Every structure is written in structure tokens, then in C-alpha cells.
A and B are shown apart, each in its own frame.
Chain A
Amino acid sequence: NTDSKAHDEL
């Protein structure tokens, strides 16, 4: 899942 690599959370 490439989305999970985004790490846009804190």
C-alpha cells in the first residue's frame, strides 16, 4: 500500500 508511506500524521 503506497498510501501508507505518506506519513502525513504526527
Chain B
Amino acid sequence: HKLFIGDQVLRINAESEEHIQLLKELEDDEGWELDFWTHPASTDLPVDIHVPFASLHAVKNFLQAHKIPFHVMINNLQELLDEEQEGVELNAMQERN
């Protein structure tokens, strides 16, 4: 099973068209292996990006350098996935019983 230890999901609230354009550049950059859960389109909707642990520092620096506001929506993706998996397994066991 693919692991996501230390990966974070950042919620970004773009405030201008310039921010949107910068986020689109980020989206085109395949080097950081970002997974855009929601895409940059307008300032009305937040942009959520799943950032692998290895790219976290660089991505946060990029956002801060361009004064793009963001917060951490999911602090450690794997923790949430572990909880979810535990729930699936526990429920399956209860149903078997």
C-alpha cells in the first residue's frame, strides 16, 4: 500500500489573479509531484494541494515568497489514512461477527 507519511494537504486562498497564475505554474511543475485536489481557477474557491513530504519545504517557501495565504488542512495524511483503514477493518470484522 502506498504510504503518505508526513505528506500534508495545504488549503490555499488565492487573493488575486496573480496568485491564481502562480498556482497554475505550480500545477504545471511536475518535479514536486503535487496532487491538486482542487485546482486554481478563481479567488472564490480554495485550492487544496496534497504535497509530498519531500516537497513541503519548497512549496511552503514558494507560497510565502509570493505572499499567497495558506494553512495546513491535513497535517499528516498517513495518520488520517491509518484511522480510516482501521475503521474499515473494524467494521468488516464486526459485520463478520
A complexed with B:
no
Report which A residues bind B (CB closer than 8 A): none
Report which B residues bind A (CB closer than 8 A): none
